Amino acid sequence: MHLMMFKNRVFPIIIGLVFTLISCGSKSKEDSLITNEATLANSTLNNDIEPSLIIGAHRIDHYLPLLNGKRVGIVANQTSVIAKKSKSIHLIDFLNAENSVEVVKVFAPEHGFRGKADAGEVVKDGVDIKTGIPIVSLYGKNKKPTSEQLDGIDILLFDIQDVGARFYTYISSLHYVMEACAEADIPVMVFDRPNPNGHYIDGPILELEHQSFVGMHPIPVVHGMTIAEYAQMINGEGWLKNGISCELTVIEMLNYDRNDHYNLPIKPSPNLPNDQAINLYPSLCFFEGTNVNAGRGTSKQFQIYGSPYLDKTVYDFKYIPMPNEGAKYPKHDNVLCYGEDLSEREHLGQIDLSYLIRAYKNSIDQPKFFNDFFTKLAGTKQLREQIEKGMSEVEIRNSWAEGLANFNKTRAAYLLYN
């Protein structure tokens, strides 16, 4: 298999020397967890080299005048931090301290404002203890902001770290936010951040009959776009309800190259703890639609996979999933699983189907290997059918070629960077 590899340069994203996430009040256990996580990530920075990448949220002089006198809503989570002087601060705390800006409401995507909730877990609305700002959950039944929730907001900001996979639901939240704001005549400002999987596009194109919150648009599994580029595509392709268009302002990054390797300083969700998990996620997330555990309930989420239904004479790696942060009820909880450890594999430049194909081939109960969620993840029934027929990875990938070529042409109109 020929894999496209990253360039050798590695760019850290956050510039500050000390991380402090001070929204939501006093130093609770959650506060210390987030601070320690960010500090640990920051300790890997080479302080002798000034990072050249500047994320959208850090271009304060560029966007702050546009917010002057405005009542601001923000779609944010634990990744929404910026560097300010000698430390890093949450965007909400920074804007709330500005006399010219009034932050009136926060909207939180899947996993919640603090990014601690399990995948699929319903997160309740709340209030920021420190500031008293209401926090509205955009997951569960309320995926799209209501007109009442948007009342009193002059502009809505979106600043969330994405990972570039169709089934990662932050882009679905972006869609609903843009749609609701378009209907309410409220402009949206997207602060751009790098896509750690932005160096390639791959996978089957979603068929709209299989549209869901884990796949809303006719795009491949890996789209190779930043969150702001994707916002432009949502508008430009007329994907919002009734073809409406959102008034969109993009705060671009500076010095971004999608072929460079970016270390994310804060994990974007509970089960993507490091760069390896983020890189393997587009390949291993298909297991979420099978009876195979993809590492949830371990310290190597999306870096290992296994199941009690895989042939133990073929797989010599074994582990037992147990409840942990982000996985209160992991698949095969407290059951011995046989599988494979990929935590030391080289980074990929395409989806690797070999793990999925091999697991199906060596399942001791093939009729129960797939579940209905697999089709939602794949965006098509074809991938399951191809695997069940015994098609090779090369044959399956060849079936994607035309769709990927057409998508790449469409995508080109919305790209902001090399």
Together in a domain, 138 and 171: yes
Together in a domain, 182 and 209: yes
Mean pLDDT value of segment 156-176 = 98
Q: 281 is written with which tokens?
A: 């996620």
341 located within any domain? yes
- Give 111's pLDDT tier (boundaries 50, 70, 90): low
Together in a domain, 350 and 233: no
Amino acid at site 386: Q
238 located within any domain? yes
In this predicted structure, what is the pLDDT of residue 129? Answer: 76
Together in a domain, 235 and 133: yes
Q: Kindly report, residue by residue over 314-342, the tens digit of the pLDDT.
A: 999 999 999 999 899 999 999 999 999 99
Question: For residue 366, is it left (φ>0), alpha (ψ between -120 and 50) or beta?
Answer: alpha
CB 214 within 8 A of CB 377: yes
116 located within any domain? yes
Together in a domain, 210 and 285: no
pTM (two decimals): 0.87
Together in a domain, 173 and 285: no
Together in a domain, 297 and 168: no
Q: What distance in Å separates the CA atoms of residue 18 and residue 54, rounded to the nearest whole number?
A: 18
- Give 130's pLDDT tier (boundaries 50, 70, 90): confident
The answer to whether residue 205 scores a pLDDT higher than 50 is: yes
The residues facing 190 across adjacent strands are 158, 250
- Give 35's pLDDT tier (boundaries 50, 70, 90): very low
Together in a domain, 374 and 329: yes
Together in a domain, 250 and 324: no
Q: What distance in Å separates the CA atoms of residue 114 and residue 79, rounded to the nearest whole number?
A: 9
CATH number at residue 26: 3.40.50.12170
150 located within any domain? yes
DSSP state of 310: B
Top pLDDT among 168 and 1 is at 168
Chosen domain end from 241, 263, 285? 263
What's the mean pLDDT when you consider all of the chain? 88
Q: Kindly report, residue by residue over 395-409, the tens digit of the pLDDT.
A: 999 999 999 999 999
92 located within any domain? yes
32 located within any domain? yes
The answer to whether residue 29 scores a pLDDT higher than 60 is: no
Domain count for the chain? 2
In this predicted structure, what is the pLDDT of residue 418? Answer: 85
416 located within any domain? no
418 located within any domain? no
Q: What distance in Å separates the CA atoms of residue 147 and residue 117, rounded to the nearest whole number?
A: 26
Amino acid at site 252: E
Together in a domain, 72 and 99: yes
Domain residues for the domain of 136 are 10-263
Collect all residues with Cβ–Cβ distance below 8 Å to 163 and sequence separation of at least 6.
195, 196, 197, 268, 272, 278, 281
